[in-house]
C-alpha cells in the first residue's frame, strides 16, 4: 500500500522567508502529486499539483518532483502570516481515483 511521509512535522518561519516542505512516497508508479492547504478549522483545499518530473511555479509557490528519488517538495517564497496552516501532501494511487495523504506539516509564519 502507498506510504506517504512528510517532513518536518512543524516549523516556524519569519515573515518574508522561504518555507520548504518535503514529501516522500513509496509507489514509483504514482502519477499525480499535490499539495493541499488546510487553515485551522477549515477544509483542505488543493494548492497545486504536478504530474511529471521537474518544477512548476505559480506565484509564490513552487512544486518540485523527483520520481527517481520518490520525493516532491513545496517551496513558498516570501512567506506571509496568511500562509500559516497545515500543509498536506497527496499522491494518487496507481489503482483507482484515490489519494493517499501525508499526516501534514504545520507551518507558522511569524510577523
Partner 1 sequence: EAAVTQSPRNKVAVTGGKVTLSCNQTNNHNNMYWYRQDTGHGLRLIHYSYGAGSTEKGDIPDGYKASRPSQENFSLILELATPSQTSVYFCASGDVWGAYEQYFGPGTRLTVL
Q: CB of residue 36 vs partner 1: minimum separation in angstroms?
A: 8
Q: Which of residues 40-99 bind partner 1 (CB under 8 A)?
A: 42-46, 49, 88, 92, 97-99
- Ordered strands of the 71-76 beta sheet: 4-7, 19-25, 71-76, 61-66, 54-58
Q: Closer to partner 1 at the Cβ: 42 or 110? A: 42
Does 102 interact with partner 1 (rule: CB under 8 A)?
yes
Does 23 interact with partner 1 (rule: CB under 8 A)?
no
Amino acid at each position: 500500500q502507498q506510504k506517504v511521509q512528510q517532513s518536518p512535522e512543524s516549523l516556524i518561519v519569519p515573515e518574508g522567508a522561504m518555507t520548504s516542505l518535503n514529501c516522500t512516497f513509496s509507489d514509483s508508479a504514482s502519477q499525480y502529486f499535490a499539495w493541499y492547504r488546510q487553515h485551522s478549522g477549515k477544509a483542505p483545499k488543493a494548492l497545486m499539483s504536478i504530474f511529471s518530473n521537474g518544477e512548476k511555479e505559480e506565484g509564490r509557490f513552487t512544486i518540485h518532483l523527483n520520481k527517481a528519488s520518490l520525493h516532491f517538495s513545496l517551496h513558498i517564497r516570501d512567506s506571509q502570516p496568511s500562509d500559516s496552516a497545515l500543509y498536506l501532501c497527496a499522491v494518487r494511487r496507481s489503482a483507482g481515483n484515490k489519494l493517499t495523504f501525508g499526516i501534514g506539516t504545520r507551518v507558522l509564519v511569524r510577523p
